[in-house]
Amino acid sequence: MELIQPYITLALQAVIGILTSLVLAGLLTLRKKADDFLSSRATASQREALYRIANEAQALIEKTFQEANGMQKLHAAEAYVAARLKEAGIQLSMMEIQAAIEKAVQDFNTSVKPKGSDANERV
């Protein structure tokens, strides 16, 4: 028995080491999934804020810049949204900002204009 005892101890240590490695790998996987979940939740809340601010910008620019053309209104809305997002600490691309503004404009146009009119008009 004394001859096998070191081998048994070594085998048990190896098994414990393998089990520990598997548990740590599982915890690492769970952590990555939790990080992905939390970052996607942050992204969802950032998108909500973006759409809310884009709707504000659309309403403000539509009221304030009545005589301006579509591109001038769009640039003013982009500047407003970018400034508000910066205040909130949210960094999004200008393409994402423009897309949110365009969506706000389309939502506004379809809710205000009667059916059959041109609903694709820019801000």
With 0.75 as the threshold, say if the pTM is over it. Answer: no
Q: Which pLDDT score, from 0 to 100, does residue 116 have?
A: 54
Average pLDDT estimate for 13-42: 86
pLDDT for the residue 61: 92
- Whole-number pLDDT of residue 118: 52
Q: Which amino acid is at 65?
A: F
Query: Would you state the pLDDT for residue 4?
Result: 87
Residue 100: predicted pLDDT: 93
Distances, alpha carbon 89 to alpha carbons 5, 47, 58, 99, 103, in Å: 62, 13, 21, 19, 22
Distances (CA, A) of 56 to 6, 28, 63, 80, 81: 74, 42, 11, 9, 9
Whether 121 has a pLDDT exceeding 70, the answer reads no
Q: Is the pLDDT of residue 84 over 50?
A: yes
pLDDT at 119 > cutoff 50: no
Which is more confident, 31 or 35? 31
Distance CA 90, CA 50 (A): 9
